[in-house]
Structure 1
């Protein structure tokens, strides 16, 4: 049985750390630090001939004419993050063994926890002040919002949940949070606003949030929620991939565990590792 070859692509710091963790297991690893699918990437893949390919969370920009299956001819398993329409069409037309790690429930929840803690780190770096005693308005009440609200409450801050969904509104109320309906004209009352809704909802109808908040942090997926024309850089701050930026070691270990567990039974080789021999902290 041969040692499988891994190719890791991306600029998020967790991807480089992932390649280092894999190298510690004595597997063959190629790390390509790039945001784009380019002719150089294609040449590297043809030369290296990976068995397992790990694509970044944010979709690679395609700067070639198209993506051809010939560059995946040796790939036995491909781990993917988010997909652009072009990448979606490519994988739907292929017969590749594709696994979206963003659909792994354990990965999603633990990554959400890292995102919540990553925001705390970003806040300290940006504001240079304590969290305790501050009021934070959080839009949305999904995984990240739930974990972030819990963390802020434990730190003696005052989270206030703003959502459009009546179901999420009731859920937040039942969990003991102060709530408000996210609707046109809503004001922020000089709170610090945190968006966790992965959609471009911040239109003119919600402009009052920007004018009345102390600072607007957008920690949802790229490209963020801002759908207004103009320069709002004095108030609006887009933070994506917080785990990779501020907690890259833990973020890489989480991704490592996810992909290596799934790759254990890849046909034709071995990942050559014992999970309990690598200190995952």
Structure 2
């Protein structure tokens, strides 16, 4: 197989491991461990001339005057994560072949499964106790929440789903979970609260959750759900990118599998 030239950018442990996995199948790889698009990055790209670029999950800060198309002349495909408005405008204006790997269904579900397992690892690290017999309140009922609730139930814990959506309330109830509506003044009754909703919804109206939970774990995407002033470090824990923190080997393999499958015809 003809060697292809990959450029992998980012400081997430998954990106470093992804670069190593690509090298293991004899691809040419330039790994740039940075959080910013800089003049040094541009020099490296001009020297290497990559055919495939992998951008990090979180958007790169731009510290140059602008992003020039001359640094993408040899690029056949860009795999992109989350984009800032500046990066969105750039890719929309360009004619580059892009693919958002965070929208790949295979990646989303497999990554959600690792996020659920990563929470268990974070819980053990923080609490030093078993999950069996404990009460967990989970906000949201998307992929992560579904997989996490299933995992906790299998481990003899007691998950309770709290959501605003009548559809999700009905779905969770039909699947056999105890449910409550997420509403103002809701109490945790000393349960462990887990947020999976990727929005800043935790305002004064829901401050009661912090006051009545044994611990509040926020495992949704950065920057988390907390929209309150003050110090809540005693009860609030923000754990984003759980797969990258606790299961980076498996997380990078999932990313590797999805990207190489998509790039096989390039």
Question: Normalised by the size of structure 2, how large is the TM-score?
Answer: 0.98
Distance 2:21 2:210 in 1: 42
CA shift, 1:115, in A, is: 0.4
Could you say what secondary structure the match of 2:180 adopts? strand
CA shift, 1:2, in A, is: 4.5
Please give the residue correspondences for 1:195-274 in structure 2 after superposition, counting only pairs within 5 Å.
195-266=195-266
Residue in 1 that maps onto 2:9: 9
Residue in 2 that maps onto 1:99: 99
Residue in 1 that maps onto 2:61: 61
Q: Comparing 1-10 with 40-49, which one deviates more in the overlay? A: 1-10
Distance 1:35 1:115 in 2: 22
Larger RCO: 1 or 2 (CA < 8 Å, sep 6+) = 1
Distance 1:183 1:37 in 2: 42
Distance 1:157 1:120 in 2: 12
1:51-75 deviation per Cα after TM superposition (whole angstroms, max 9, x unaligned): 0000111111112222221111111
Distance 2:98 2:222 in 1: 23
Q: Comparing 141-150 with 80-89, which one deviates more in the overlay? A: 80-89
Residue in 2 that maps onto 1:278: none
Distance 2:238 2:34 in 1: 21
Q: CA RMSD in A?
A: 1.0
Residue in 1 that maps onto 2:156: 156
Please give the residue correspondences for 1:41-52 in structure 2 after superposition, counting only pairs within 5 Å.
41-52=41-52
Distance 1:204 1:68 in 2: 44
CA shift, 1:237, in A, is: 0.9
Could you say what secondary structure the match of 1:3 adopts? coil
Distance 1:66 1:151 in 2: 46
Distance 2:65 2:228 in 1: 32
Distance 2:40 2:224 in 1: 30
Residue in 2 that maps onto 1:123: 123
Residue in 1 that maps onto 2:23: 23
CA shift, 1:4, in A, is: 1.1
Residue in 2 that maps onto 1:276: none
Distance 1:128 1:40 in 2: 44
Distance 1:138 1:264 in 2: 39
Could you say what secondary structure the match of 1:257 adopts? helix
Q: Comparing 210-219 with 65-74, which one deviates more in the overlay? A: 65-74
Gap regions ≥5 residues in structure 1? 267-281
- Alignment coverage as a number of residue pairs: 266
Question: Normalised by the size of structure 1, how large is the TM-score?
Answer: 0.93
1:187 aligns with 2:187: yes
CA shift, 1:112, in A, is: 0.3
1:21-78 deviation per Cα after TM superposition (whole angstroms, max 9, x unaligned): 1111111101111111122111111111110000111111112222221111111100
Name segments (4+ residues, structure 1) moved above 3 Å: none
Distance 2:226 2:114 in 1: 23
Distance 1:212 1:66 in 2: 48
Distance 1:252 1:106 in 2: 14
